[in-house]
Amino acid sequence: MLNKLSFFKALQHDSWVKPFLKHYKKTLWLAIFLGILTFICAGGLMFTSGYLITKSATPPENILLVYVPIVLTRAFGIFRPLLHYLERLTSHNWVFKMTSEFRRKMYDALERDAVFFNNKYRLGDILGLLSEDVAHIQNLYLRTLFPYFTVCGLYVFIIVGLGVISPLFALWMLVLYGLLIFALPLWSVVVNGARQEYEKQLKNALYLDLTDNVLGVSDWIFSERANDYLKRHEENEAKLLMTQEKMRKFERRRDLVGQFIFLAIVVSLIIWASSRFGGTETDSINWIAAFVLCVFPLADAFMPLPTAAQETNVYLDSIKRLNALPNPEKRQKAPEVTAPYELQVKDLVYAYADGHHNVLNGVNLKISPGEKLAILGRSGSGKSTLASLLRGDLTPTAGSVTLNAIKTTEFGDKIAKYIGVIHQTPYLFNTTVVNNVRIGNEGASDEEVWDVLERVGLKKLIKKLPQGLETMVDEAGLRFSGGERHRLALARILLKDAPIIILDEPTVGLDPITERALVKTFMDVLQGKTLIWITHHLQGVEHVDQIVFIEDGQIKLQGAPKQLADNKRYQKLKQVDEGY
């Protein structure tokens, strides 16, 4: 039950699948209507042919008696493929139109965020979004939603049609068809959905295990434990195969049940038609054949439903991932705030969805306008997590992070206007130097670019390059060092001119001299801005106004560097950091 529900739950807060259903409503209805008509024609064709064949088997007294069924058979025969073709044309046209909009919306969501997206999303996720998820959503419409709408329309048509002739029998059909349309698919989702999930986990584990162990194969051999590894791998593989076999077995059983329900429908129809139309007249037998034959083409509509419903599990991840993207439609509504800018963190608790503990557990912090704050803490203590929370890239589990009393999550991508980030490894795009800097502000003039380059101490270096600003970053022989990359990233941020800057360990991996020079540059050029500097060592922290030390999800030490100078614990940290 859970999986089925989670699909609907995911759809409830969805801003990617549902809006598109509404968007081209007319075409959508036309496609569904054509789909229903196709099946009606298929049923009608069998109905009239059934009647015609049995009627023709008894010597007709007058050829005119079979004239009407002949015409109808021909008409249904022509219209069925024609309508089917039109239905395909309309629904595919709809889906392609829709997915092209869909891609536009997705690029839109990512594009404005391009400089910062490596902070929020991993590259693999983005590639997955671009290729796989669009295909999944396309399939969700074509293979699950369309057929379901069509079948529901057909269901109503059959039940109402039969209800006019015989309400009681219509009720019985309501139950049997209901089993086919709702009960079987639900059963399928509940049972195989869980297995699918398990299968996915096993597969992931196997991939990880395999890559890990192939890379570390020499260790296995040296430690003479190669056989252990092989055994473990084979066990996992066997588990996977067993799960897959179970799923196949279930599918066979489910299809058998489906066939039995269908058989029940056919048998019921025979019994009903013979009691209703049976009698002494020879004509009656024709009606029986007609009614019974007409249900067979409907099997094509009903039988794929359980598989289609089960596939929703596969689409669920795609829907979730898409909805985790910023919604470009909501972007316009982002709030505006004006200087002075004050960040306030209140009783902040954060746990990752897949984590077992609170990474942050009750953090309170006020960052005043223009303040320089250093956030210290061991690796894994939650510093980067706090940075993401400050920028509103993550939503607090409890408590709040506000910028001038507005939750930072509410700004969406507009937060970039207020809070800039420089990461440990800033990303340089494979384009010219000037383009790399201008990402911060598309409208900046060359003078402004030179100005920021000068401020970050790169002007000389860039001037010396043969093509100056137009030099390709990835051109052979031109490599920016770690420190230079940071300076370029800083230039970007300066051009953007956000009032609050977060530096997430901007000096990791640099030698002490470069590090000191870089820290000095940061401090100099970011004068007047609020600075949140995340680091796990103390080099240069004497420049800041306030230091906080995070441990076990909480702020364990807090104060100005001078105040802390007497603190035993701080002294010890400093000693460790300086390598005494």
Beta strand pairing call for 360-367 and 343-350 = antiparallel
Contact 205, 236 (CB under 8 A): yes
What's the min distance (Å) between Cβ of 417 and ligand ATP? 24
Q: Between 367 and 376, name the residue whose CB sits nearer to ligand ATP.
A: 376
Q: Between 377 and 396, name the residue whose CB sits nearer to Mg ion.
A: 377
Q: Between 108 and 577, name the residue whose CB sits nearer to ligand ATP.
A: 577
- Helices 482-496 + 446-455 axis angle, to 10: 130
Q: Choose among ligand ATP, Mg ion, none what residue 492 binds, the Cβ cut-off being 5 to 8 Å by kind.
A: none
Interface with ligand ATP (CB under 6 A), residue total 13
Interface with ligand ATP (CB under 6 A), residue from 306, 377, 440, 483: 377
204 binds ligand ATP (CB under 6 A): no
Q: Choose among Mg ion, ligand ATP, none what residue 96 binds, the Cβ cut-off being 5 to 8 Å by kind.
A: none
Cα–Cα dist 413/327, whole Å: 9
Report the candidate in 134, 138, 143, 84 with the shortest Cα–Cα distance to residue 109: 134
Report the candidate in 420, 448, 439 with the shortest Cα–Cα distance to residue 341: 420
Report the candidate in 566, 558, 526 with the shortest Cα–Cα distance to residue 543: 526
Q: Between 253 and 378, name the residue whose CB sits nearer to ligand ATP.
A: 378
Q: Choose among ligand ATP, Mg ion, none what residue 258 binds, the Cβ cut-off being 5 to 8 Å by kind.
A: none
Query: Near ligand ATP by CB under 6 A, which window of 46-54, 338-346, 366-374, 376-384?
Result: 376-384
Interface with ligand ATP (CB under 6 A), residue from 154, 173, 359, 456: 359
Q: Choose among ligand ATP, Mg ion, none what residue 359 binds, the Cβ cut-off being 5 to 8 Å by kind.
A: ligand ATP
Interface with ligand ATP (CB under 6 A), residue from 383, 438, 487, 529: 383
Interface with ligand ATP (CB under 6 A), residue from 44, 153, 382, 420: 382
Interface with ligand ATP (CB under 6 A), residue from 12, 62, 280, 379: 379
End-to-end Cα spacing for the chain? 60
Classify each residue of 12-47 as buried b or exposed e, where b means 16 or more C-beta atoms within 10 Å of its C-beta: eeeebbeebeeebeebbebbbbbbbbbbbbbbbbbb
384 binds ligand ATP (CB under 6 A): yes
What's the min distance (Å) between Cβ of 125 and ligand ATP? 11
- Backbone dihedral region for residue 428 (phi beyond 0: left; psi -120 to 50: alpha; all else: beta): beta
Classify each residue of 89-105 as buried b or exposed e, where b means 16 or more C-beta atoms within 10 Å of its C-beta: ebbeebbeebbeebeeb
Q: Between 134 and 508, name the residue whose CB sits nearer to ligand ATP.
A: 508
What's the min distance (Å) between Cβ of 377 and ligand ATP? 5
Cα–Cα dist 45/198, whole Å: 45
Cα–Cα dist 408/53, whole Å: 73
Q: Between 313 and 384, name the residue whose CB sits nearer to Mg ion.
A: 384
Provide the binding-site residues for Mg ion, judged by CB under 5 A.
384
Q: Choose among Mg ion, ligand ATP, none what residue 442 binds, the Cβ cut-off being 5 to 8 Å by kind.
A: none
354 binds ligand ATP (CB under 6 A): yes
Query: Near ligand ATP by CB under 6 A, which window of 148-156, 252-260, 380-388, 448-456?
Result: 380-388
Binders of ligand ATP in range 433-492 (CB under 6 A): none
What's the min distance (Å) between Cβ of 532 and ligand ATP? 13
State how far Cα 52 lies from the chain centre.
Answer: 53
Report the candidate in 120, 45, 34 with the shortest Cα–Cα distance to residue 83: 34
What's the min distance (Å) between Cβ of 505 and Mg ion? 6
Cα–Cα dist 461/437, whole Å: 15
Query: Near ligand ATP by CB under 6 A, which window of 79-87, 331-339, 351-359, 459-467?
Result: 351-359
Please classify residue 451 by burial: count the beta carbons closer than 10 Å to its beta carbon, then call 0-12 exposed, 13-18 middle and 19+ buried: middle
Q: Choose among Mg ion, ligand ATP, none what residue 377 binds, the Cβ cut-off being 5 to 8 Å by kind.
A: ligand ATP
What's the min distance (Å) between Cβ of 180 and Mg ion? 54
Task: Report which residue type is found at 322.
Answer: L
Contact 540, 516 (CB under 8 A): yes
381 binds ligand ATP (CB under 6 A): yes
Q: Between 382 and 392, name the residue whose CB sits nearer to Mg ion.
A: 382
Q: Between 261 and 363, name the residue whose CB sits nearer to ligand ATP.
A: 363
340 binds ligand ATP (CB under 6 A): no
Q: Between 286 and 384, name the residue whose CB sits nearer to Mg ion.
A: 384
User: HEC profile for 415-426?
Assistant: HHHCEEEECCCC
Interface with ligand ATP (CB under 6 A), residue from 81, 355, 520, 571: 355
Q: Between 202 and 359, name the residue whose CB sits nearer to ligand ATP.
A: 359
Q: Tokens for 173, please give them.
A: 């059909």
Q: Between 285 and 550, name the residue whose CB sits nearer to ligand ATP.
A: 550
Contact 473, 430 (CB under 8 A): yes
Q: 314-319: long-range contacts at Cβ-Cβ below 8 A with a sequence spacing of 24 or more?
A: 314/136, 314/196, 315/7, 315/136, 315/137, 315/139, 315/140, 315/144, 316/3, 316/6, 316/7, 316/10, 318/132, 318/133, 318/136, 318/137, 318/140, 319/10, 319/11, 319/14, 319/16, 319/17, 319/137, 319/140
Q: Which DSSP string do the residues of 314-352 spell out, in sequence order?
A: HHHHHHHHHHHS--HHHHTT-----SSP-EEEEEEEE--
Interface with ligand ATP (CB under 6 A), residue from 536, 543, 556, 574: 536
Query: Near ligand ATP by CB under 6 A, which window of 190-198, 293-301, 352-360, 464-472?
Result: 352-360
What's the min distance (Å) between Cβ of 384 and ligand ATP? 3
Q: Choose among ligand ATP, Mg ion, none what residue 380 binds, the Cβ cut-off being 5 to 8 Å by kind.
A: ligand ATP
Please classify residue 468 by burial: count the beta carbons closer than 10 Å to its beta carbon, then call 0-12 exposed, 13-18 middle and 19+ buried: middle
Chain residues binding ligand ATP by CB under 6 A are 352, 354-355, 359, 377, 379-385, 536
